[in-house]
Chains A and B, each alone.
Chain A
Amino acid sequence: MTAKGRWWVYVVLTAGLLAVISPFVWMLLSSVKPAGEILGTPPTWLPGHVTGEHYRSLFERLDLATYLTNSVAVAVAVTVGNMVFCSMLGYVLAKLSFRGRRLLFGLVMGMLMVPGMVTFVPLFILVSNVGLANTYSGLILPYLVQPVGVFLMRQFIGELPDELIDAARVDGAGEARIFARIVLPLCGPALATLGIITFLASWNNFLWPLVVAQTEDMYTMPVALALYSVGQNSIDYGLLLAGAVVVVVPVLLLFTFLQRHFTQGIATTGFR
């Protein structure tokens, strides 16, 4: 409680921080080591020689551009869908009293407790039987709306002043107009949180894409990395690390730059 803080707290927090981020540091440094150095004994932090060969072979031996395109396309579609649909539902749940509202909200919240494994098998059967296996639709549709997004938007919109919306209603504005012209422009922070969270979750998602994407042209980055890292007899360790860097670094940068928009939403929903 001293004004400047305590020196030993800085030391402990810094030591802990180094421990927490050290796997990423080692990953970055080792991805530019020559193959023989990566699993050397004893292990090293700094590369003896620096090489870009592993990154080159990501493009030459694997179809990195395709995986990246798939990952981005799916994540963007899922993010846009959640931002639009969750805020629409969040608005009426927060600001309009209509028949069935409580039931709808109860169902959506109840869904938060359902483990992923409960829906996994029927969802897979559904998606394969309607011919969506190995398609973008199969990757995107099951994630296009998510209960936690509704919860976040409803909480945020609920705190906007009622007078604002009532005044517009008195002036004869329809609900669609109120939503688009008054509510949405005020939802910037909540939409930013939802957008970043959804994008990251989709980018990192891997079990569903693993079973839905069946040919290489539909793989997302994590699927390609997972299959490459467990499937083969002789694993190219350098390639694996370079792939991990490509998966991790964009989200680390995205998060670090946008973290201000992020933390409030996590505190209220516990969503990661």
Chain B
Amino acid sequence: MALSRATHRTIVGWTFALPFAVLFVVFMAGPVIASLGMSFTDIRGTDLRTPLNVGVIGLENYARLFSDTRFLRAAWNTVLFVVLGVPLTIVLALAVALGIDRGVTKFRTVFRVGYYLPVVTSIVAVAVVWRFLLHPDSGMVNGLLGLAGIDGPNWLTDPDLALPSLIVMAAWRGMGTLMVIFLAGLQSIPRTLYEAAAIDGAGPWQRLRDITLPMLRPALLFAAVITGIGYLQVFEEPFVMTQGTPLDRTLTVSYYIYNQFGFGNYGYAAAMSYVLFTVIVGLTVVQFRLLRPKT
């Protein structure tokens, strides 16, 4: 029996896709749907062996979120993380990328690799080191401030400084990725644009403002999208550095979800994760609208 060419192609296509598809359905798509279902129930950690005891409670978990002051605090902290962290990371990465691409001709690889190193290292190990560096009395950060005659604070226990400290640490870990993206973007800008601008007498700032930044627009928006998505989910920094202290000032949404999971409140945790998911999808859609080239 001869199959039509189209049918044959479909069979071959799905055969190649099969291992991926099976694992994808079981370990990704399945849990995504299960999570949505759980968010409408009162499932708890103790219900796992008796799933029939679980009650459907509709939108109650979602309604509860908006009167949960700890959740609102976590949401606010997460917003701060994004609003402060994304611009900081982008500006640092852009400055480094511009320096490497335009300002130097030697040691480019050394700079590129060096600035990228924090990206590839384990957050657990990084946290160990940063807790030493930020130690109030024996930490190198306050040690250096002491040389300048400044009495450094206790970074991780001061309610006003704990979150900013984590943001700086996240920017330190995240800027390498953006630097690489910006370097690729900078290399795709035609040199002739700069030559023409130089003939017209444009100075370095004008060239940056009128050529480089507009030409980098896709790279900048891409960087904003991935950094924004990353910081909305920020979890590891508070988990390993502060466990949400002091006074919940470093409690983030993802960390609170993990907390509620730890308490066995599975349904509630699932509802929160879906709120986060919705915000991420919304932000991504908005930013992709912006990404689309102007016509």
Contacts and interface: CB of A to CB of B under 8 A. Distances in A.
Nearest to B191: A1
B103 A256 contact: no
A150 B146 CA distance: 51
Interface string B166-191: 00000010101100110110000000
B58 interface: no
Contact of B235 (A13, A100, A117): A117
A54 B158 CA distance: 32
B133 interface: yes
B17 A89 contact: yes
Interface in B187-223: 194, 198, 204, 222-223
B13 A118 contact: no
A17 B111 contact: yes
B233 interface: yes
Contact of B128 (A13, A206, A229): A229
Interface residues of B, number: 102
Interface residue SS majority, chain A: helix
B150 interface: no
A113 to B, nearest CB: 6
A270 interface: yes
Given A4-B105, A104-B17, A113-B284, A9 B99 contact: yes
Contact of B135 (A39, A100, A225): A39
Interface residues of A, number: 97
B120 A43 contact: no
Interface in A139-171: 141-142, 144-145, 147, 150
Contacts of A237: 132
Given A118-B276, A206-B123, A101 B13 contact: yes
A233 interface: no
Interface of B: 6, 9-10, 12-14, 16-17, 19-21, 23-24, 26-32, 34-35, 38, 48, 96, 99-100, 102-107, 109-130, 132-133, 135, 137-140, 142-143, 146, 172, 174, 176-177, 180-181, 183-184, 194, 198, 204, 222-223, 226, 229, 232-233, 235-236, 239-240, 243, 254, 257-258, 261, 266, 269-270, 272-274, 276-277, 280-281, 284
Listed from nearest, the 10 A-B pairs whose CB atoms lie closest are: A9-B103, A98-B13, A267-B184, A122-B31, A122-B34, A244-B125, A119-B31, A43-B143, A270-B226, A5-B104
5 contacts: A16-B115, A20-B117, A98-B9, A114-B277, A118-B35
